[in-house]
């Protein structure tokens, strides 16, 4: 049985409210970082078409929270649900803060959570190197639209829409591709354009150029 507010002495109410607030705060603070395993190329979930979200609720919000934690822990710019093994149409993108020459923050970090994202307009074209948490160690030059408009729903099912350009537009195109089973390595003109950016083993004593040449046919096949 719970006492109603009127039945409690004022001080007790204050204490109860304070302790409730502290409890909530500590829950917030104590929430463990839910870092999930990131699927890498070769795992079938990355190649399937993800399903649309029809019902919104705590399970979607929890999925989004896990995705944000996983993306941040991996130092990623974006993440799609299939990358943590969940074939649902959900993406998260977090753009970094921008600073001017004196180090003043001119733009804060921005978080985008999109369920059922659809790119409804695209224009321009630019080629730039991109990488993917599911294709660790490689980057490749990919042509993407420069400007896009994306619409979808947030984690609670509310309609959202964003106009994006350059890096953010690229991130939206890369992440929505994941929902259709497409990886950036499918969009490079040729697999020769893939570049190895991480040594395979520390202390191997090879230069970056030599490493690039070590992308063997077998490795390329495994990536695709």
Which residues are catalytic, by number? 175
φ/ψ (deg, to 5) at 87: -80, 60
The Cα-based distances of 146 to 58, 107, 117, 124 in angstroms read 35, 20, 17, 5
Pattern of binders to Zn ion over 85-114, x per CB under 5 A?
A: ------------------------------
**Could you tell me which stretch among 8-16, 62-70, 100-108, 131-139 binds Zn ion (CB under 5 A)?**
131-139
**Could you tell me which stretch among 67-75, 99-107, 130-138, 161-169 binds Zn ion (CB under 5 A)?**
130-138
**C-alpha span between 212 and 209 (Å, rounded):** 5
Residue among 116 and 170 whose Cβ is closer to Zn ion: 170
**C-alpha span between 161 and 99 (Å, rounded):** 26
CB of 186 to Zn ion, least distance (A): 11
CB of 133 to Zn ion, least distance (A): 6
**Could you tell me which stretch among 20-28, 124-132, 163-171, 186-194 binds Zn ion (CB under 5 A)?**
124-132
φ/ψ (deg, to 5) at 11: -60, -40
CB of 18 to Zn ion, least distance (A): 45
132 sits near Zn ion (criterion: CB under 5 A): yes
146: DSSP letter: S
Contact between residue 164 and residue 123 where contact means Cβ atoms under 8 Å apart: no
Residues interacting with Zn ion, by CB under 5 A? 132
């Amino acid at each position: 049985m719970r006492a109603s507010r009127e039945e409690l002495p004022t001080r007790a109410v204050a204490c109860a409210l304070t302790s409730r607030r502290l409890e909530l705060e500590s829950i917030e603070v104590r929430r463990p970082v839910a870092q999930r395993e990131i699927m890498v190329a070769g795992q079938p979930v990355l190649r399937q078409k993800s399903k649309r979200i029809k019902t919104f609720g705590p399970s979607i919000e929890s999925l989004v929270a896990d995705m944000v934690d996983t993306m941040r822990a991996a130092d990623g710019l974006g993440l799609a649900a299939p990358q943590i093994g969940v074939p649902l149409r959900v993406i998260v993108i977090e753009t970094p803060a921008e600073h001017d020459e004196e180090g003043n923050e001119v733009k804060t970090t921005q978080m985008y959570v999109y369920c059922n994202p659809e790119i409804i307009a695209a224009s321009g074209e630019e080629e730039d190197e991109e990488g993917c948490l599911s294709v660790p160690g490689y980057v490749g030059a990919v042509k993407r639209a420069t400007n896009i408009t994306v619409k979808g729903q947030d984690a609670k099912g509310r309609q959202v829409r964003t106009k994006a350009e350059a890096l953010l537009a690229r991130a939206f195109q890369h992440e929505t591709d994941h929902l259709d089973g497409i990886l950036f390595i499918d969009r490079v003109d040729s697999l020769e354009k893939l570049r190895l950016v991480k040594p395979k083993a520390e202390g191997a004593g090879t230069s970056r150029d030599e490493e690039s040449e070590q992308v063997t046919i077998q490795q390329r096949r495994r990536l695709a």
